[in-house]
Amino acid sequence: MMATSEYLNEALATALHEVLISGGSALEVASNTSGTVSFCRVDSSDIEDKRNTCGSLPSFFFNLSSNDSQSDFLIRTSNATNDIYSFFGDARESPQSDLLSFSIYSKLQNRNFSDDASKFRIKFKKKPNVSNSSVNDEEQLYLPDPLVAIDGSLIYQSLIMHAFEVDDSDNTGFVFQLEPNTISSCPQYLVIARFVIPPNLRQLDPFGQFFWTMLPTSISKCNSSKSEEEALLDYALYMQSSELTKLKSDAFRRTKYMRIKASEINRLYIGYRELTVEEKDLYNTVNPPPIPYRFTNQINTTAHVSVSRPSCVYLHSRNDYWQTNGCQVNCSF
């Protein structure tokens, strides 16, 4: 069955190669129930080291390179919303998401890139409704005003705090995204995270180390020539599964004598605040944020908050199943 399907695809690729123009518009067939199939003709000499798509599918970005005289390719991409391989039988596990496929035809045959030194790269973008994301709907989040206690001391909240359930830190990453309302002013934020117990900037406590960073990591990243999408990458915190596992293990070790519910072990607290002008680019590994934290300034540039739980998997030539070890999720544009 698979051989017949591939034969039909190669025959179709042969016919379309004569019709499509290299670098021109894609031929696309869309169905409301089955998905979308796109064909396009490309020249690797024109697209190497560039981001390209085939058709209107937003999930696919690809790069091609060629080390031989053949550079004229026909690309086939598809996004099937149903299990198009259901003929294998009921015992086969059904997919839990859309099925994406990508084929490269060279010299009118399906090309096997494992047989030569050529390479290609494919990037997939998740749909918002399947990215395990949560969005803060409040447009204006400010810190509460400081209060003066009876003894004259100042009581204040240092961070705007959020809590998230992270139950599978061994296999997934965590992305915390800030979207400033006025990104052109290049605000810089201090972001702090810890499992189980909210991070505390007012005093040192015995409840485990916390993770901290600045977003963006340096104001030198601010550039008016960047698009808004590019600029927002500097306001995203990518926490790898190894970092999450380390933070969770440390928090569990330091709080195991406390009466804590099992669900609280998976609770990741992330707090943030806008840095003052004198604090910008001030903190680093040698000079971390001071504890107790002395700044009580209000947030001037508010921000929307969203989080996602991306997973990173890969295939190895010696195995036929997805692997996660050593795989990292990074920002890319």
Closest to 76 (Cα-Cα) out of 41, 39, 109: 39
Is 167 found in the same domain as 117? no
**Residue 331 included in any domain:** no
Specify the pTM: 0.67
Contact 191, 239 (CB under 8 A): no
Residue scoring higher pLDDT (295 or 2): 295
**What is the structure's pLDDT at 57?**
63
Q: Do 92 and 200 sit in the same domain of this protein?
A: no
- Asked if the model's pLDDT at residue 29 lies above 70, the reply is yes
Please count the structural domains in the chain: 2
Q: Is residue 321 part of a domain?
A: no
Q: Which of 264, 292, 290, 289 is nearest to 197 (CA)?
A: 264
Residue 264 placed within a domain? yes
78 plus 202 within the same structural domain: no
Residue range 173-202: mean pLDDT, rounded: 91
Q: Looking at the domain assignment, is residue 242 inside a domain? A: yes
What number of other Cβ atoms are within 10 A of residue 319's Cβ?
Answer: 9
192 and 278 in a common domain: yes
Task: Grade residue 188 by pLDDT with cuts at 50, 70 and 90.
Answer: very high
55-64, 74-83, 196-205, 313-322: range with lowest mean pLDDT: 55-64
Q: Residue 74's pLDDT is what?
A: 81
Q: What percent of the chain has pLDDT over 70?
A: 69
Give the SS3 label for residue 102.
strand
Which residue, among 94, 98, 95, 116, has the nearest Cα to 107 in the 3D structure?
A: 116
Mean pLDDT of 59-77: 66
Domain range for 267 is 147-308
In this structure, the answer to whether residues 117 and 12 fall within a common structural domain is yes
pLDDT at 128: 47
Q: What is the mean pLDDT of the chain?
A: 76
Residues 186 and 272 in one domain: yes
Q: Locate tokens 């009580």: which residue? A: 296
Q: What percent of the chain has pLDDT over 90?
A: 17
